[in-house]
């Protein structure tokens, strides 16, 4: 059985190597599962890979003035697009545990001249942000890479304001995956081995305290295979704007 720390090391090394890559992956790419072009909007002068598996931003309905946090922000594309949507008074914050990705994302913030985006080095199981500080949390193809998914969802819940929303695109499975896949470090970093059965994924979100969980889009797969979903949920309480 592969240990949580071995998974983290493998995932970090893998994405450090991808930080300088371009675009998305081809069909033969080992990251094919975590590589569906996201957020159709273009971002001039952006450099680096987009390694998502959905478009959480399309469903987050961000408003000017809001604070949005992207868990596992990679090269920063979605944070930068989100920052534009919440400008001029809002802010978008990306969290990623791979230094090379954070450096690439900061470089992209400078190249695209988007001033209200920031990138912090950190693990999403221990988010470096205070309680109740975000209006929306988004994430694109990251939670499957995390050994303790419940901890990541609990942290997302903690940093959201009452009434705040979570929108995640991620890889899930139809039933359990074969042990040989689950125990492959390479399959973890390719967004396959860490995929939870969809019912377990949705219950991890509910266990963290979220309500009104809704599946917004879903692929499909045969038993024992993986596919992508986009899920929205809410932290109970009144939306600050409605107070």
Ligand X SMILES: C[S@@+](CC[C@H](N)C(=O)[O-])C[C@H]1O[C@@H](n2cnc3c(N)ncnc32)[C@H](O)[C@@H]1O
Q: Which residues bind ligand X (CB under 6 A)?
A: 11, 15, 34, 38, 50-52, 72-74, 78, 95-98, 101, 123-125, 140-142, 145-146, 191
Report in angstroms how near the CB of residue 76 gets to ligand X at its nearest.
Answer: 8
For ligand X, which residue has the nearest CB? Answer: 74
Report in angstroms how near the CB of residue 87 gets to ligand X at its nearest.
Answer: 21
Q: How far apart are CA 189 and CA 9, in angstroms?
A: 10
Cβ-based neighbours of 109, under 8 Å, separated by 6 or more:
76, 80, 115, 117, 118, 119
Q: For residue 9, what is the enclosing H or E element?
A: helix 4-18
Residue with tokens 């689950």: 182
Q: For residue 135, what is the enclosing H or E element?
A: strand 134-140
> Based on CB atoms, which residue is closest to ligand X, 30 or 163?
30
> Would you call 116 helix, strand, or coil by DSSP?
coil
> Based on CB atoms, which residue is closest to ligand X, 140 or 173?
140
Report in angstroms how near the CB of residue 6 gets to ligand X at its nearest.
Answer: 13
Q: Which two tokens stand for residue 91?
A: 């802010």
Report in angstroms how near the CB of residue 72 gets to ligand X at its nearest.
Answer: 3
Report in angstroms how near the CB of residue 134 gets to ligand X at its nearest.
Answer: 16
Q: Which two tokens stand for residue 115?
A: 């001033």
Residue with tokens 């979220």: 210
> Based on CB atoms, which residue is closest to ligand X, 188 or 210?
188
């Amino acid at each position: 059985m592969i240990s949580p720390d071995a998974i983290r090391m493998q995932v970090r090394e893998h994405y450090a190597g991808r930080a300088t890559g371009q675009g998305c992956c081809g069909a033969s790419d080992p990251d094919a599962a975590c590589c569906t072009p996201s957020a159709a909007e273009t971002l001039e002068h952006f450099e680096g890979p987009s390694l998502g598996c959905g478009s959480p931003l399309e469903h987050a309905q961000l408003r000017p003035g809001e604070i949005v946090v992207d868990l596992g922000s990679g090269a920063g594309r979605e944070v930068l697009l989100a920052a534009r949507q919440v400008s001029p008074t809002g802010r978008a914050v990306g969290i990623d545990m791979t230094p090379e990705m954070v450096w690439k994302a900061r470089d992209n913030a400078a190249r695209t001249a988007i001033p209200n985006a920031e990138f912090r080095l950190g693990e999403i199981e221990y988010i470096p942000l205070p309680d109740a500080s975000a209006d929306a949390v988004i994430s694109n193809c990251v939670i499957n890479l995390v050994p303790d998914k419940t901890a990541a969802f609990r942290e997302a819940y903690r940093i959201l304001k009452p009434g705040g929303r979570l929108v995640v695109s991620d890889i899930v499975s139809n039933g359990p995956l074969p042990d040989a896949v689950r125990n492959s470090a390479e399959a973890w970093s390719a967004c396959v081995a860490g995929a939870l059965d969809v019912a377990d994924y949705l219950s991890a979100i509910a266990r963290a305290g979220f309500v009104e969980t809704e599946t917004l889009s879903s692929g499909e797969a045969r038993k024992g295979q993986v596919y992508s979903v986009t899920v929205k949920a809410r932290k109970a309480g009144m939306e600050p704007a409605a107070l």
